[in-house]
Structure formats: C-alpha cells, structure tokens
Amino acid sequence: MTSEEKRAFILLKSIIFNFHGIDEDEQEILDETAEELDASEELAWAHNFIAEDYYDAFERAQEFLDPIMLKLDKDKRLDYLSKVWTANNQKGYISEMEATAMIKLAQDWQIENELIEMIKS
C-alpha cells in the first residue's frame, strides 16, 4: 500500500467512524489499523483533516478520496470499503448514516452494486 493509499484508507475509516463522534472502540480500531499499516502519521493527518471542520468533513473527504480511489482498480476500491464495513461490524453495529455514507462513496467510485452484493452475503 502506497503512502497515498494509506492516507486515503485511514481517512475513509476515520470519516465513517466520525459520523456520530468517535468512541473508544472506534478509536481503538483506528489505532490498530494505523499500527498494522505503519500509518501513525496518516492517522494523525486524518484526525486533523476531520477536526479542521467537522461539519463538512465528509464532503471534503469525498473530494479528497474520489480521485485517489478512481485510480485504483475496482477490486481494491471494494476491498477498502468492505474492510471499513467489517470494522464497523467489529464495534457491534453499523448505523444507518454510516451505511448510507459507504453506499454513497461506493456509488461515487462505481462499485455500488458490488458493495451491496458483498453486504448481502
């Protein structure tokens, strides 16, 4: 995973977890992800990105993520979203807002049908 991909993946996971304000379980998952990917700088960057303006963070994240994700093949885009979906399940639930946000991103990244099929299975 390139540095750009690490930054994008960490931001993706962070922005979804921050829909309701990040809780301890979510922060622990993010910390574990950053450790696994050797991406502590990227995690700090993502926190700063979101804190810059919490209320429009998702829209700014979309603008940041779209060109990066569209350069990747469909399987990798789906893999990143499915990992975020799985991480949400790890904390015990996926809120309607989080699910809607992930489906919106999947639509932007032209993998909506694939994500929905993955969710069904």
The per-residue pLDDT for range 34-91, each reduced to its tens digit, is: 999 999 999 999 999 999 998 999 999 999 999 999 999 999 999 999 999 999 888 7
pLDDT value at residue 119 = 86
pLDDT of 19 reads 82
Number of structural domains in the chain: 1
Q: In angstroms, rounded to a whole number, what is the distance separating the alpha carbons of residues 86 and 121?
A: 12
pLDDT at 90: 85
Summarize pLDDT for 95-120 with one digit per residue, the tens.
899 999 999 999 999 999 999 998 88
Cα–Cα distance, 87 to 90 (Å, whole number)? 5
Q: What is the pLDDT of residue 76?
A: 95
Q: Which helix (H) or strand (E) holds 116?
A: helix 112-120
Its domain, for residue 77, covers: 3-120
* Of 106, 63, 55, residue with least CA distance to 85: 106
Structure tokens at 93: 């639930």
- Dihedral over Cα of 93, 25, 4, 35: its sign: negative
- With 0-12 / 13-18 / 19 or more C-beta atoms within 10 angstroms meaning exposed / middle / buried, residue 65 is buried
Which pLDDT score, from 0 to 100, does residue 21 have?
A: 80
